[in-house]
Amino acid sequence: LFERRAAHPMLELSLFRRHNFAVGNVETLLMYAGLSLLFFFLLLFLQNAAGYSAVAAGTAGLPVTMLMFLLSKRFGALADRLGPRLFMGFGPMVMAAGLALLTRLGSDVHYAVDLLPPLVIFGLGLSMTVAPLTATVLADADEHNAGLASGINNAIARLAGLLGIALVGALVAGRYGDAADSSVGAFHLAMGISAGLVGVGGILGLIFVRNPEREVQAGGCPGGQLAGAPRDAARHGAREPVLSSR
C-alpha cells in the first residue's frame, strides 16, 4: 500500500499492469518452484533411498545444465522468429513430462536407464523455456524500468524456490522414515507436485502470453538479460528499445 502511494516508489507496481510482464512472472513463480523441488528432493532421494554418495547425487543433474548450455541460445533464436508463446507453453509441459517420469523410480536406480532419460526430457523443456521467458518478461518493461523489471523477475524466481521447498517440504516431511519405501513415497509426492506446478505454468503461458509486435531477441539472452520497451510503450512516448546480451 505504501508503494502505491509513494511519490517515488522503490517498486513500480504499474509494471504488473503490463500483460506479458504479469503473466511471465506468474509462470516464473510456478516454474522455478518446480525446478527447486526437483533438485532438492532428488538429492535427498538418491542418497537416502537409492544409496548414492553425496558426490554421485550432486553430479546426477549435470545433464540438465549441459543441455541448458548447449540448447538455450538456440531455442531463444527460434523464439525470436516464431514468437515466445509456444516455447513458454510447451517448454514447461515437456519439463512436467520429465518430472512425471521420475515418479516411476524405485529404490533401485540405474542411472543410465532410470534417471537419465527423465532428466534429459526435463532439460530439453527447461532449455526451451528459460530464454523466451526471461526475454519476454523484460521486453514488456519500459527502458528506464529494465533494471527494476530484471530485479523483480529474479526475486520472484528466488522466492519461488524458497516457498516451494518450505511448503512442499512441510507437506512431505511426515512421509520420510528409516525405510527406503517411505523415502520413495515422499519423493514421488514431491515430484508429482512439481510436475503439476510446472505444467500449470505451461498452460498459463500457452493461453495468456502474447507474442510481442517486435522481436524480443531471446537468442541474445539464453540465461538471460534483455532491456527494452515494447512498441505499444514506444507509441506513448518511451524511447525505442535498447537490447543487451550480457
pLDDT score of 243 more than 60: no
Going 142 to 145 to 147 to 149, the CA torsion angle's sign is negative
Structural domain boundaries in the chain: 14-234
Supply 71's cell numbers: 540448447
In this structure, how many other beta carbons lie within 10 angstroms of the beta carbon of residue 27? Answer: 29
Mean pLDDT of 78-85: 94
Mean pLDDT of 151-156: 95
Rounded Cα gap, residues 173 and 2, in angstroms: 38
Q: Tell me what pLDDT residue 179 has.
A: 63
pLDDT score of 226 more than 50: no
pLDDT score of 244 more than 60: no
Q: Tell me what pLDDT residue 125 has.
A: 98
pLDDT score of 215 more than 60: no
pLDDT score of 11 more than 90: no
Main-chain phi, psi angles of 178, to 5 degrees: -75, -30
130 vs 173, residue with greater confidence: 130
Residue owning grid cell 521486453: 139
Name the range with the highest mean pLDDT among 47-51, 65-69, 144-148, 209-213: 65-69
CATH number of 14-234: 1.20.1250.20
Q: What is the value of pTM for the model shown?
A: 0.83
| 160-212 confidence digits (pLDDT tens) | 999 999 999 999 987 776 666 778 999 999 999 999 999 999 999 999 999 98
Angle at CA 102, nearest 5°, toward 169 and 88?
Answer: 85
Q: Tell me what pLDDT residue 32 has.
A: 97
H-type helices in the chain, by residue range? 2-5, 19-48, 54-59, 62-82, 85-102, 116-139, 146-172, 180-208, 231-234
Task: Read off the pLDDT band of 13 (50, 70, 90).
Answer: confident
Selection from 130, 133, 132, 118 nearest residue 63 by Cα: 118
